[in-house]
Structure 1
Amino acid sequence: MKPTPFDYTAPRTVGDALALLADDSRDAKVLAGGQSLIPMLNMRLARPEVLVDITRIPELGRVVVDSDGCLRIGAAVRQSRAAADPAVRDGWPLLADAIGLIGHPQIRGRGTVCGSLAHHDPAAELPTAALALDARFVVAGPRGTRTVEAADFFVATFATAVEPDELLTEVVFPPLAAHHGRAFEELTRRHGDFATVGVAVLLERDPASDTVRRARVVCCGAGPTPVRLTAAEAALTGTDAGPAARAEAARAALGALAPADDVHSTAEHRRESAAHLLVRACTTAWERTR
């Protein structure tokens, strides 16, 4: 199919982009990488009257580590560029791992980090990584700029805290503590497909006691938003992350997850798969704390 007719504009400043989004006379959509939007246009699931291309706004194209040690990724940064950046690979390897699981190289070469986050498919890797990494989202709009925590950003399937007249300008990842390890495991029908279910794990090791000081476990594909498994985190914290602790964390995940049946998988299959992936991810993450 072909999209319905639309106008195209490429503002050079955030202010100009916001003015276009605030125009109530026409339905406007933001275009960055277009890897989700263009298929929706072609299938006529989205029918905007104007596309606002933000990729020519210089300030949105940066990947920097600021004076507080936080990683800041602008809304126009391609996924492949972020994953290849030495600062990302060294300081936030879970983010690089998550990007590496997205689709195929052609997708990652055009898609943007913030675009995937703003689109918020609950089976996508980046929203899950963002929640695991305690990301913060900088949102600009006619009422000024605000910052939204990851726990509050993802509202429902394909819905976030960004209002129609606002623009996600960057995502901020705080620095990770020393002695942390990570893993992102997912189950897919074919390479490049969206995950049937996936699990991201971050473990911080206490070198004095050789136990888990802090754990973060987040699941994708098991609800309308990424699901943080706090009971599984509690089961791991203070332990040696050995077989018994991993098994207890898996049991906690089984008790907490309540996915729905759909054409891709049954709820029970998702729950059992998530528990299995959690054990595998915990094993890898703990090994990487050394």
Structure 2
Amino acid sequence: MIIEAEDLRKSFKATKAVAGVSLAIGEGETVGLLGPNGAGKSTTLNLLLGLVTADTGQVRILGEDTRRLSDEARRAIGFVPQEYAFFPELSGLANVTYWARLYGLRRRALDTAVRDALEFTGLWDRRKDAAKTYSGGMQRRLNISCGIVHNPKLLIMDEPTVGVDPQSRNHILDSVRTLSAGGATIVYTSHYMEEIQALCDRVVIMDGGKVVADGALEKVIRDNTDERVVLLETPSPEAARDATDQILRHGLLAAAETDVEGSTVVLRLPPDADFNDLAARVLALGLTLESIGERRPSLETVFLTLTGKKLRD
């Protein structure tokens, strides 16, 4: 395992920031960490990194206790914080070189790593310019360059796309995909559900300092969805109302389980309902339909179900 955390607890005065978090993250996983404000995400990241000492519990990274990490283990960790981790007066080149030296890179290996990191984030052509002259999106990308220059096995990214323009956001997401495909283990936090769904194969949802869901993305969505939504597309609103009347008249569903949205009939079924059986019975009615399909449950719906809060609250 790359990360093993057991029953982590951390309080700040009377506030329980983390209340019994346990995690095991294997090599090559890309894990999305979600939670409303105050859920304990940032404290958990700091505990994993060894930046904060837990009141109780233990964290091991690459098999080593974070309280006594070897230099080799430290060099295997990369962190892209939400705050900027560079000096604004220095050039992009100087900033990334600074971090490369901190991680022990020297001479030709340092030069190669710095160039690779800046080219990877699309900043090589602006390497001699002061970081303060970069756009917000470029500064976010510089933050990533500083965090990956030493080619870490484990990369922890805290809100790496906050406040960036769409072009830089797409560049950052593509960069994360490339790092993941290259075998890096990534822990990724974001306020954007679509980023987690696009990048992560596993999701951990926190609320009140505890993990309330943890597993493969599709399984977490499936296990925490209380209905299946089937959509019947018809040629017109009139056809949709007629289809609904026929479905109710033949007793396929109750009125509370049907709705009409424009020319679409919305059928709400129990999570274990047989879609193919329902589709066959609907088609047997001879309705005028253009298509039958399912509305895929969203991670945001699951998040609201588990926490009762919108992520951006």
TM superposition score category, shorter chain reference: under 0.3
Q: TM-score, normalised by structure 1?
A: 0.25
Q: TM-score, normalised by structure 2?
A: 0.24
Q: For the pair shown, which has the larger CA radius of gyration, 1 or 2?
A: 2
